[in-house]
A and B are shown apart, each in its own frame.
Chain A
Amino acid sequence: MPNWPKLPPRLVQKALSAHLLLGLALSALLYIVSITGVVATFAHELRIWETPASPVMHSVSAEDIDRALDNVLESSTPLPSRINLYLPTDETPHFRLMADRAEIVLDAEGNAQNSPQSPWTDFVVGLHHQLNLPRILGLAVVGLVGMLMLASIMSGFLAHPKILRDAFIFRVSGSKRLQQADIHNRLSVWTSPFHIAIAFSGAVLGLCTIVAVAIAPLEYGGNSGAVFQTIFGNGPAGASSGSTHAASQAFSWFRSEHPDLEPDMISLSSPGTDHQTIQILARHPRRLISGEYYYFSGDGTFTGSAHVSDGFIGQQLMSSMYRLHFGTFGGLTIKWIYALLGLFLSVIVATGMNIYFMKRQAAGRSAPKLEALWASIVWGAPASIACGFLLEQLWPDFGNLLVMQFWLLLCMISLATISGWLARPAFRLRLLTFAAISVGVGQHLAQNYHHLGKSPSLMTSGTLLAVAVCFLAPELVGLFGRILHARNLPDV
């Protein structure tokens, strides 16, 4: 088959050079973002697992809402400026209430408890969203990583004109470099639609704030918030006095008018004052949009919606970006597919760098320290995340130190690997990851044995243990091979 597309060799060479450059500059950050992305895909499940004592509720009534709001307003002086009620859904079966920054969780009898925290999941999600940097800066940096990943995909395609001809070639028995190149190229090609979607949606989500800041002076008087309001709505109009019971009235009205929609959140602005407004965020089944905002006046009268679901195409597209990026639109099946494809991305990044080091070695320019640094990132990042997981299970107050622990441990692992102090880093770090996850899960089960009846918690524990075992896969495969080989030996 002739090469397609037919590209001049010089252009291919240039594209390869650009691809290499992007890979070198991007690899470490992209690798960390991709492995944390795999974990973040299951954020809902992990949060439930981390908070087994949290009261489970599958639905709420108007009375539950009244009781919850009364509970908060009676104990709050001064009144909070905003109250968000997060209603139980299939993914998160908890009824939570957030008054300004204070969060509580409510049981079926309306009793309020301090909201149990899930610091490890929050840390991993934070690492994926913003690399633990301040919010806007972090989002922009991760958005740039997405943008450069898009550039890397573009240059990768330009650099491989034989992409169709070689689509089914996989040289298992070839040299190690060929094997790595085949893994890198085949996985890249076959998973490229997913990776383009992920890189694009990630870049849009991360960089939209920057673009909004640039657009704002042109037509919005420098107010970047107004740029987002054009897409997601201005919020409810018709502020008026009303009791907080208006929220339950609005909820009841919504339930009767839209029985097919799933309300996710009820939000009260200036509750209990003369400027009270209410909005309900509801999910539309079989739609990719995050949800539609329904507006109510202070007394609970419906006043309109943001038209995210039926407005301009731009509103619908933008609202779909989040669920497209995180795969929260098709249940666990889609999440597993996303996790698997995200894992492939980590493999693509790792093999890409491996090819680079092998090429250098073949050219007589090996860079052992750089190679050791790369190995420490590949295996050190999961090991650091897993150690945080273990420490948080052993000492619940450790949650506040997770960010510091991760970066510090990663630096220490890198230094130990570069200096040669840590021999066989790949094996030892995999072993550390396996041990940390296994002991962490064991500790969690021992602490929460009375909640073991909850099937989601058991399933998550089992999955985590399976993931831990996967880290020892190369050693286990080797062990099996040796056992089989020993059995096949003729008796002497």
Chain B
Amino acid sequence: MIALGLTLAILLSWVGLYLIKSVWSQRGSARRHVLLAAWIILILAHCLAYAIYQDAGAAICSMATACVACFLVMASNRAELKAAISPEKKTRKRTRTARTKADPDISKGGRFRAGTVFLLAGPGAIIGAMSATLLIYQVCAHAGAAPADSIVIAFFAFPVLAAALSTYILMGREHLLRMTSWTGGLMMVCAVLISIMGDY
């Protein structure tokens, strides 16, 4: 039941993420509604997971990660998001060109200033690493490792994974959308596996 609930929630999340990605190239104000709908689907999906799997860290983690992942995906293209909300594309383009000329940081590092990227990528990396850590813990526990060893492996794995993931995301910051999608995907897969392993 728990696994089923979480899997359902995760599948709904994937649908949400897919919708966000698929509407990326579309134009027009309709995009705004699709984005909002996708966002709501994501939140609802994870509220469902939480309701079914109330006292489990996996569900809470899954919900939080999906929200952050969704936020990252949406915010990873700030200008596009702005365009989705405001129809004045021409003004936006001119502004961006002017800003790119004025501040080479923007053109070099994609579309964002360092602080923005960091604030966006940091939580994603940390929560993604936590999902992977919980999965590692479950794998160790199910493989017959001593409880103390499983816990300490998790303690050690988390900072290393978080460091690696944050480096990975920051290295690909001009493709932040792709990077965060991958991270979001990793979180989802981990959450499903944790849930299934927790059941059996």
Residue numbers of A with Cβ under 8 A of B are 11, 14-15, 17-18, 20-22, 24-25, 143-144, 146-148, 150-151, 154-155, 158, 200, 203-204, 207-208, 210-219, 222, 227, 230-231, 311-315, 317-318, 363, 365
- Residue B37 interfacial (CB < 8 Å): no
Query: Is B158 a contact partner of A218 (Cβ separation < 8 A)?
Result: no
Per-residue CB contact flags for chain B residues 143-170 toward chain A (1 = under 8 Å, else 0) read: 0001111111111101110111011001
Contact present for B172 and A215 (CB under 8 Å): no
| B198 contacts across to A, CB distance below 8 A | 218
Are B152 and A317 within 8 A (Cβ)?
yes
B45 on interface, CB distance cutoff 8 Å: no
In angstroms, Cα B137 to Cα A131, docked, is 30
B148 touches A216 (CB 8 A): no
Q: Please determine whether B56 and A215 come into contact, CB atoms closer than 8 angstroms.
A: no
Residues of chain A within 8 A (CB-CB) of B55 are: 217, 222
Kindly report which residue of chain B lies nearest to residue A153, judged by CB atoms. B163
If A25-B115, A217-B55 touch, whether A315 touches B152 (CB-CB below 8 Å) is yes
A208-B155 CB under 8 A given contacts A151-B163, A154-B167, A312-B146: yes
Compute how far the CA of A171 lies from the CA of B154 in the bound complex, rounded to whole angstroms: 43
Known: A147-B162, A151-B163. A18 touches B154 (CB 8 A): no
Whether B137 and A215, one on each chain, are in contact in the complex, defined by CB atoms closer than 8 angstroms, is: yes
Contacts A150-B159, A216-B57 given: A230-B166 contact, CB under 8 Å? no
B148 touches A218 (CB 8 A): no
**Contact call A215/B170, Cβ cutoff below 8 A:** no
- Least CB distance from B99 to A in Å reads 14
Q: A214-B130, A214-B134 are in contact. Are A14 and B172 (CB under 8 A)?
A: yes
Contact B56 A22 (CB under 8 A): no
B173 within 8 A of A: yes
A155 and B159 within 8 A (CB): no
Closest residue of chain B to A200 (Cβ to Cβ) is B159
With A143-B159, A210-B158, A311-B148 given, name 14 new contacts (CB 8 A).
Answer: A20-B114, A21-B117, A144-B126, A147-B166, A203-B159, A208-B155, A213-B57, A219-B147, A231-B148, A313-B149, A315-B148, A317-B152, A318-B148, A365-B103
Question: Is the CB–CB distance between B170 and A18 below 8 Å?
Answer: yes
A318 to B149, CA, bound (A): 9
Q: Is the CB of A25 within 8 A of B118?
A: yes
How far, in whole Å, are A18 and B118 apart by their CA atoms in the complex?
10
User: Which B residues lie within 8 Å of A212 (CB)?
Assistant: 151, 155
Which residue of the partner chain, among B146, B151, B167, contacts A151 with CB atoms under 8 Å? B167
A22 to B130, CA, bound (A): 20
8 nearest CB pairs, A to B: A314-B152, A203-B159, A18-B170, A314-B149, A150-B163, A217-B57, A151-B163, A14-B171
B153 adjacent to A314 (CB under 8 Å): yes
Q: What residues on B are CB-neighbors of A211 within 8 Å? A: 130, 133, 154-155, 158
Interface pair B134/A230, CB less than 8 Å apart: no
* A17 / chain B contacts, CB cutoff of 8 Å: 108-109, 170-171, 173
Closest to B61 in A: A214
B104 part of interface (Cβ distance < 8 Å): yes
Is residue B67 within 8 Å, beta carbon to beta carbon, of the partner chain?
A: no
| Cβ-closest chain A residue relative to B154 | A211
Check if A363 sits within 8 Å of B133, measured CB to CB: no
Give the nearest-CB partner of B129 in chain A: A147
Can you list 26 pairs linking A and B with CB atoms under 8 Å apart? A17-B171, A18-B171, A20-B114, A21-B173, A25-B122, A144-B126, A151-B162, A151-B163, A151-B170, A155-B170, A207-B155, A207-B158, A211-B130, A211-B133, A211-B154, A212-B151, A212-B155, A217-B60, A222-B55, A227-B151, A231-B151, A313-B149, A314-B151, A318-B155, A363-B104, A365-B103
